[in-house]
């Protein structure tokens, strides 16, 4: 293994584990019925929603190659599939991959 | 030790009809292909998936390496991107804490905190006795890491056969899956508002501060949702 890559992997895993470990450590004194817990629950959901929205609207990596319109159309169509399939998670997910591959060639 | 039946119950939860296994595998196929393009070998790719086990963090590492960033820069960039794991851990571990369970289980299993495992646990924890939730959680985490490793291996092995359209399809799958899961989890006013505010604020704050947008949007959106939720209850 190349030393630089191994160091980068170790540094990345340490940076990731730090937040997880601190979270596990500080949650020891928190009761699930407490206000702090409810607040953190809201923070977690809002943070995840922000991450997902940012990934779709301001993507990094491969998704940059797809236009804003094709990403938006795929997401809205996938949500439509999600609701008509009685909130099944798999159908819209597979649909999104296929439709993105097709739509991106036309928009 | 770990109670086997709850561990395997957690492990099997990823093989249900609405499981995240497909989405997770596809995301890590994309990561495996990306690692190969970056010059990683198969051992390094799998080592990275097992040790990091967080897609945004892996992406940031890959992008940082592409521009030749220092190790300190990589550490800070990944830490900022993955700081979201802190509120996720604090909002999950109190549901699993039990006096009879040794602490090492909690410290070890915090490594499994990631969106897919977190959402599965949040949806199912009420069906598991509190004493055994940690074993169930370790089962979920082991299953999601296994699937991620398989995805990385497949992506690395077949990267030459993945064209641009296929990579795009794999890349959109992850946000769409998690968006559906978040909408599916929005069953109370505070959670629904958290998802709504986070979705609106995330991209807006990105225009002002790309590095801190997710955390700031999470704190503002989550706090607003909590306050509105508390007000509606009272």
Q: Looking at this predicted complex, what is its ipTM?
A: 0.86
Cross-chain residue pair B18–A39, CB shorter than 8 Å? no
Residues B69-77 have a mean pLDDT of 86
Task: Compute the mean pLDDT over every residue in chain B, rounded to the nearest whole number.
Answer: 88
CA distance B44 to B157: 13
Contacts of B196 in chain A (CB under 8 A): 49
Given a cut of 90, is residue B160 above it in pLDDT? no
Do A38 and A26 belong to one domain? no
Residues A82-88 have a mean pLDDT of 89
How near does any CA of chain B get to the CA of A40, in Å? 5
The values of phi and psi at residue B210, to 5°, are -55, -40
Residues A52-57 have a mean pLDDT of 90
User: Which of these ranges, A4-13, A18-27, B164-173, has the smallest mean pLDDT?
Assistant: B164-173
pLDDT confidence of residue B164: 83
* A8 CB-near residues (< 8 Å, 6+ apart): B61, B64, B65, B71, B74
* Maximum average pLDDT range among B82-86, B178-182, B218-222: B218-222
Do A73 and A89 belong to one domain? yes
Quick one: which of B198, B23, B144, B29 has its CA closest to A88?
A: B23
The residue segments making up the domain with residue A50 are 31-60
Do A103 and A74 belong to one domain? yes
**B172: nearest CB among A25, A31, A63:** A63
**B173: nearest CB among A15, A40, A93:** A93
**B17: nearest CB among A7, A27, A90:** A90
Q: What is the dihedral of CA A64, B165, A53, B36, to 10 degrees?
A: -70
Greater confidence, B67 or B131?
A: B131
Given a cut of 70, is residue A107 above it in pLDDT? no
Do A1 and A19 belong to one domain? yes
CA distance B19 to B151: 15
| Number of domains forming the structure of chain A | 3
- Give me B3's structure tokens: 């109670």
pLDDT confidence of residue A3: 58
Do A35 and A70 belong to one domain? no
CA distance A29 to A31: 7
**B54 close to B114: Cβ distance less than 8 angstroms:** yes
Contacts of A71 in chain B (CB under 8 A): 172
Neighbour count for residue B124 (Cβ, 10 Å)? 17
Given a cut of 80, is residue B66 above it in pLDDT? no
Q: What is the dihedral of CA B54, B52, B207, A77, to 10 degrees?
A: -20
* A98 CB-near residues (< 8 Å, 6+ apart): B169
pLDDT confidence of residue B115: 85
Q: pTM for the full model?
A: 0.83
Given a cut of 70, is residue A1 above it in pLDDT? no
pLDDT confidence of residue B204: 95
CA distance B54 to B45: 13
**A17 close to B60: Cβ distance less than 8 angstroms:** no
Do A45 and A18 belong to one domain? no
Given a cut of 60, is residue B17 above it in pLDDT? yes
pLDDT confidence of residue A2: 57
Residues B101-108 have a mean pLDDT of 92
SS3 assignment, position A24 = helix
User: Which of these ranges, A9-18, B93-102, B173-182, has the smallest mean pLDDT?
Assistant: B173-182
Residues B215-225 have a mean pLDDT of 93
Do A96 and A80 belong to one domain? yes
CA distance B143 to B155: 18
Contacts of A17 in chain B (CB under 8 A): 110-111
Contacts of A74 in chain B (CB under 8 A): 172, 176
Answer whether B35 touches A (CB < 8 Å). Answer: no
**B172 close to A97: Cβ distance less than 8 angstroms:** yes
- Give me B13's structure tokens: 């939860």
Do A25 and A3 belong to one domain? yes
- Give first-to-last CA distance, chain A, whole Å: 42
Cross-chain residue pair B168–A62, CB shorter than 8 Å? yes
Residues B118-123 have a mean pLDDT of 88
Residue A61, sorted as left (phi over 0), alpha (psi -120 to 50) or beta, turns out to be left
**A51 close to B56: Cβ distance less than 8 angstroms:** yes
Do A26 and A37 belong to one domain? no
Do A86 and A101 belong to one domain? yes
Do A4 and A21 belong to one domain? yes
Neighbour count for residue A85 (Cβ, 10 Å)? 15
Residues A65-86 have a mean pLDDT of 92
Residues B206-211 have a mean pLDDT of 87
Do A51 and A78 belong to one domain? no
């Amino acid at each position: 293994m190349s030393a630089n890559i191994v160091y980068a992997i170790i540094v990345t895993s340490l940076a990731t584990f730090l937040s997880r470990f601190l979270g596990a450590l500080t949650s020891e004194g928190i009761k699930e019925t407490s206000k702090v817990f409810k607040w953190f629950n809201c923070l977690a959901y809002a943070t995840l929603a922000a991450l997902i929205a940012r990934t779709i609207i301001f993507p990094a990596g491969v998704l940059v190659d797809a236009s804003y319109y094709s990403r938006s159309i795929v997401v809205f169509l996938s949500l439509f599939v999600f609701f008509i399939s009685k909130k099944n998670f798999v159908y819209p997910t597979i649909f999104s991959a296929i439709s993105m591959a097709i739509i991106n060639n036309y928009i | 030790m770990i109670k086997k039946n709850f561990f395997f119950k957690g492990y099997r939860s990823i093989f249900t009809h609405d499981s995240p296994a497909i989405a997770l595998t596809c995301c890590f196929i994309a990561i495996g292909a990306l690692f190969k393009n970056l010059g990683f070998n198969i051992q390094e790719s799998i080592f990275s998936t097992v040790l990091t086990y967080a897609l945004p963090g892996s992406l940031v590492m890959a992008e940082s390496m592409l521009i030749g960033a220092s190790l300190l820069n990589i550490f800070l960039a990944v830490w900022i991107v993955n700081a979201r794991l802190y509120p996720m851990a604090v909002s999950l571990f109190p549901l699993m804490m039990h006096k009879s369970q040794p602490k090492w289980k909690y410290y070890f299993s915090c490594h499994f905190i990631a969106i897919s495992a977190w959402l599965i646990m949040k949806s199912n924890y009420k069906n598991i006795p509190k004493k055994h939730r940690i074993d169930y959680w370790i089962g979920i985490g082991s299953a999601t890491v296994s699937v991620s490793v398989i995805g990385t291996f497949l992506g690395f092995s077949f990267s030459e056969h993945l064209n641009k359209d296929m990579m795009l399809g794999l890349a959109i799958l992850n946000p769409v899956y998690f968006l559906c899961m978040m909408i599916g989890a929005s069953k109370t006013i505070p959670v629904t508002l958290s998802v709504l505010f986070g979705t609106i604020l995330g991209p807006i704050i990105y225009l002002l501060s790309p590095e801190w947008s997710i955390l700031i949007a999470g704190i503002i959106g989550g706090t607003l949702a909590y306050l509105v939720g508390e007000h509606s209850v009272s």
